[in-house]
Chains A and B, each alone.
Chain A
Amino acid sequence: MDLEPRPLSLSTRIALLLVIAFGFLSVLYFAEFWFFSSAQRSRIYFPLLTFAAFWGVYRSLVNWYIYFFITTPERRGDGARPCTVDVLTTAMPGEPFEMFEATLTAIQRVTTPHRTFLLDGGNDPALLALCQRLGVEHVNCVGVPGAKAGKINHCLQRRSVAEVVLIIDPDHRPRPDFLERALPWFDDPRTGFVQVVQAYHNTAESFVADAAAEQTFGFYGPTLLGLNGLGIPTAIGANCVFRRAALDSIGGHAVHLAEDALTSMRLHAQGWRSVYLPYRGSAGLVPADLGSFFKQQFKWSTGMFQLLLREYPRLFFKFDATARAHYFFAGTFYFNGLATLLTLVLPVWFLFARVFAVEFSLREFAVHLLPYAAATLLTYKLIQRWYTHSSERRVPWRSLVLEKATWHVYVLGMISGLLDRRVDYFPTPKGSDRRGNPRLVIPHLVVIGLSAAAVVFALATYPRLDDGSRLMIGFAVLNIALLTPVTWVALFPRWNWRRPHGAS
């Protein structure tokens, strides 16, 4: 069931404030214990463990701050509503024809008058014929540099003249009332773009698809509603409606591995505002096999690090304080790979080398962690009311497991991003690879093996288990448990796929 966002009732607002206050206090309580309680701390390992432990805390704090501003969008302004709309979608050689047929048909059914452009990087005669049949304008983009964004700019310069441009990924089929819902927000002349929900129609296909979609539930919903309250929801590649004048003010759509994020950074730096519309205007594809998912995450993490290093400093003084903080958080988001790596490696190292980072009593540690853990769970529970579909309200273990298992991809993305390696833009893969791929999870197998060996080593050789060793054994076992599901579906792909699939 689709959920329509309603303005926050007083009781909801109070509950939200209470949860945020509880969470904030629980962090102070845990941090005071972590840093200032009387315990022996290692000079080398304690900072490493602190980074690993507080990465999640930092993310929670930022989330609570964002949730503080959750507001359903309110219509403002009485500027002229734009009346011409172009819809742009791109094609790359090798993408399935049926997908374009379905998508273009859906676009043509959108009720608001508009022109549709297919930006074809392969100049495929079959697509050309399809465009002619459906009344879509086919744009030959062979040899246009700059991947997707390059094609968009090419089209904006040569063909498109509308006041508003909807950029939609070819796997996303819009609903007929898409533009009808989005356009009124341009009444406010400051609105640079309107972002709607990205929903997926293939989540039932596989475990990976289900888990990858679940990772976005919190984002499309509470996070973007909070950013909406702060005035800066970001653009997310697909389903974004731009004001042409806004794109022109930044010299067209940004060309970058993380082109969507860079575009919204530049627009916000120019003073444009954005609106998030919690409306599931289209449904697209989410990566269903592990290889595609890892590729997508590699692209995003590399791109975000490049932005942090090269673009963020340039725009720093143009941003207002909110944008500055928000894009710093977004740019550092993929450090989670490094934090996860530490959580995986440190227990193994501590157990084998018989060293410690800090000597807490297990009981005191548990007492001080408990409020934070409770606050996190309460937050999960509470923010589910802003999810955009009732089916999304569930225990989010799949997304957590998948995120944990993507650590090596994020670490690689961090390295290539920070070293500014050239990574060519590639579209998120749309087909699905049904073969097992053990190579994707070699690091996981190594980590699982090492963790198990470390636990056995400790149990067999330690004369006596103190609280610290017990804690590390607990973490090692937890790591094994968290890495196992994804490793399993990579080795035995039939556990990934939910439905029998036609031969392909």
Chain B
Amino acid sequence: MGPRKRWAVVFFGVLSALYVLAGRRVEAGLRRAWFHSVTRSLVTDARGLAPPPGLIWLGASRPELPQSLYGMDALESQLGLPLKIASFYVAWGQGEEHAFPSEVVRNLDKAGYLPLITWEPWLSAFPRWAGQLPPGALRIIADGAVDGYVRRWAHEAVRSGKPLLLRPGHEPTNPAYGWSPATGNTAADYRRFWMHVRQIFRDEGARNVLFVWTPFGLQERDWFPGREAVDWVGFDIFNFGGLSEQGSWLDFYTLTKLFYDAYAPLGVPMLIAEAGTSSAGGNKADWIRDMFHDLAQNNFPEVRGLVLFDQPSGHTDTGLPVDWSLAEVGDAFTAARAEAGLRAHFQPRGR
């Protein structure tokens, strides 16, 4: 073998060794550099994102969301009003259904929707806890036990780059949830959890993600993480009507007014993140018509969005089934649609 052939063997051998030893690190480095220099700079800054003054974003959560938008189209034509927010729910955990829904977010953006993702920190969905809910889940998260998952989520949110509303750990005092005091979580834990997650998103550069904080009751100012850490306050407004403990029919105005007055002093824009009524003990169509009316009358000037909880299968605290859907309203709702000028209060979708 001549000297040049020996040199060729050394040359290609060294390259192969280099690849095996350093290839992965170089690739990770390049990807990180790309992410930090290019991807992050392409992110839409969503700070201050809001409908134009005087207008409201209308939205809905539907059982077939986020896989399909056909229900949104049907609802839109039923209401005769434009929908802007598409609301759906993702639980924490390991696995594809728990990961950031990149494709869904991309498709929603193409269709002109603003996603509202309710992000439920169920630690039981991680293999480490094997279906068992650990007590003090929020402390575990705030101590960084699932930072990898949160960071990957934030990373993918940055890669999607489009604005989205995120509700981590909504209704923190609702005993049905794994992040409530019922499973050993405190208000301080909650604030620490919130700030921890928020910090990771900030570190990753997720300027496109707006954080929506949603109290369960009226006296949960202790659970509020602070104005710098919360972009929107959300309310979940439900009228159980005859199915509630007191059996009383409460209209939208009464319910919302309580929340509005309790949390308006926080000085954060507001969003009705879930709204629905049962039909037990009252007229669903009237309730909904009045709701639109209240918003159109600007009774709640700080409320910038309304997300209809259009889901057929809900249940009360005591386990009674409730149908929150708007479908059963049927044509009765044309009353609201006919309302002159109602349409003008909602911002149309479109890009």
**Interface residues, chain A, with chain B CB atoms under 8 Å away:** 17, 21, 24-25, 28-29, 32, 65, 68-69, 229-230, 321-322
Contact = CB atoms under 8 A, between A and B. Distances in A.
Contacts of B23: 25, 28-29, 32
Interface in B5-29: 5, 8, 11-12, 15-16, 18-19, 23, 27
B11 A25 contact: no
A29 B27 contact: yes
B4 interface: yes
A229 B4 contact: yes
Nearest to A20: B11
B4 A28 contact: no
Contacts of B1: 321
A411 to B, nearest CB: 33
Contacts of A65: 8, 12
A68 B8 contact: yes
A205 to B, nearest CB: 41
Contacts of A230: 5
Contact of B15 (A25, A32, A69, A229): A25
Nearest to B16: A28
Nearest to B20: A28
14 contacts: A17-B11, A21-B15, A24-B12, A25-B15, A25-B18, A25-B19, A25-B23, A28-B15, A28-B23, A29-B27, A65-B8, A65-B12, A68-B8, A322-B5
Contacts of B11: 17, 21, 68
A229 to B, nearest CB: 7
Contacts of B18: 25
By Cβ-Cβ distance, the 3 closest A-B pairs, closest first, are A28-B19, A24-B15, A68-B8
> From DSSP, what is the main secondary structure of chain A's interface residues?
helix
Contacts, number: 27
Contacts of B12: 24, 65
A65 B11 CA distance: 11
Given A24-B15, A29-B27, 6 more contacts: A21-B15, A28-B16, A69-B4, A69-B8, A230-B5, A322-B5
A63 B18 CA distance: 22
Interface string B282-300: 0000000000000000000
A477 B142 CA distance: 52
A29 B18 CA distance: 12
A230 B23 CA distance: 30
B292 to A, nearest CB: 35
A21 B12 CA distance: 8
A65 B7 CA distance: 12
Contacts of A25: 15, 18-19, 23
Nearest to A466: B103
A230 B1 CA distance: 10
Contacts of A24: 12, 15
Contacts of A68: 8, 11
Contacts of B8: 65, 68-69
B313 to A, nearest CB: 27
Contacts of A21: 11, 15
A18 to B, nearest CB: 11
A268 to B, nearest CB: 15
B1 to A, nearest CB: 8
Contacts of B4: 69, 229
A21 B8 CA distance: 11
Contacts of B27: 29
B33 to A, nearest CB: 13
A29 B27 CA distance: 9
Interface in B22-57: 23, 27
A368 to B, nearest CB: 9
Nearest to B31: A367
Nearest to A64: B12
A8 to B, nearest CB: 12
A69 B6 CA distance: 12
A28 to B, nearest CB: 5
B19 to A, nearest CB: 5
Nearest to B14: A21
A28 B12 CA distance: 11
Contacts of A17: 11
A372 to B, nearest CB: 13
